[in-house]
C-alpha cells in the first residue's frame, strides 16, 4: 500500500480512461478547474449510488465554483456507462482496472470486518486546486452528506479574499 497523501502536496499523476474510454489526465484541468476526485468501491451498490447521485444533484453548484467531479473505481468503462445511464449521473467515472490510481492515492487498503481481512477501495475524496495541489485528502469518508460537505470546502477555496 502506498503512503497516505496529505494536504498541500502535489497531487499524484492521474491518467485513466473515463466511461467513454477517453483518456483523462489531471493536467487537462490545470489552471482552469479545481478537481474533486472521489474513489468508491463499486458501481451500482447502495452507498456508491447515493454518493454519485448526491454529486450529480450538486453538479451545477460545483460547476459554478470552477470544479469538476471525477469518480474512480476498479470497474470497467462499460460498467461505468451502465451506472451513469441507469441513474442519469452527471459525473465522469474513471476505470482504474489496473489499480494504479488506487495505489497512487493510497485508497487500496487491507480492511478487517468480522475477523476477515480483505483488500478493497476505501471510500476517499481528494480536492485538488487549479495548481494541482491537494487541498484536502479525506480517507474513509461516509457517503451520507459527503457531496455537500465537499461543496462547502470548495466554496471556501473559491471565496474572494477580503482586502
The single residue of 26, 35, 48, 95 carrying the catalytic annotation is: 48
- The label of the residue with cell 497516505 reads 4
Contact criterion met (CB below 8 Å) for 68 and 149? no
Please choose, from the candidates 52, 100, 105, the residue with its C-alpha nearest in 3D space to the C-alpha of residue 79. 52
Q: Catalytic: 48? A: yes
Angle between helices 46-57 and 77-87 (to 10 degrees): 60
The CA R_g of the chain, rounded to the nearest whole Å, is: 15
Q: Would you state the torsion angle of the CA atoms of residues 94, 15, 130, 146, taken in this order, to the nearest 10 degrees? A: 30
* Residues marked as catalytic: 48
Amino acid at each position: 500500500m502506498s503512503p497516505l497523501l496529505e494536504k498541500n502536496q502535489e497531487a499524484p499523476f492521474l491518467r485513466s480512461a473515463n466511461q467513454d474510454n477517453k483518456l483523462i489526465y489531471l493536467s487537462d484541468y490545470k489552471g482552469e478547474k479545481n478537481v474533486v476526485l472521489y474513489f468508491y468501491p463499486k458501481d451500482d451498490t447502495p452507498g456508491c449510488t447515493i454518493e454519485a447521485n448526491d454529486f450529480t444533484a450538486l453538479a451545477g453548484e460545483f460547476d459554478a465554483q470552477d470544479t469538476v467531479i471525477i469518480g474512480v473505481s476498479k470497474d470497467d468503462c462499460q460498467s461505468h456507462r451502465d451506472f451513469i445511464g441507469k441513474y442519469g449521473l452527471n459525473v465522469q467515472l474513471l476505470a482504474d482496472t489496473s489499480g494504479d490510481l488506487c495505489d497512487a492515492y493510497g485508497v487500496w487498503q487491507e480492511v478487517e470486518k468480522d475477523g476477515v481481512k480483505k483488500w478493497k477501495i476505501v471510500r476517499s475524496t481528494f480536492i485538488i486546486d487549479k495548481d494541482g495541489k491537494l487541498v484536502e485528502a479525506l480517507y474513509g469518508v461516509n457517503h451520507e452528506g459527503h457531496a455537500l460537505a465537499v461543496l462547502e470546502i470548495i466554496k471556501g477555496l473559491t471565496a474572494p479574499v477580503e482586502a
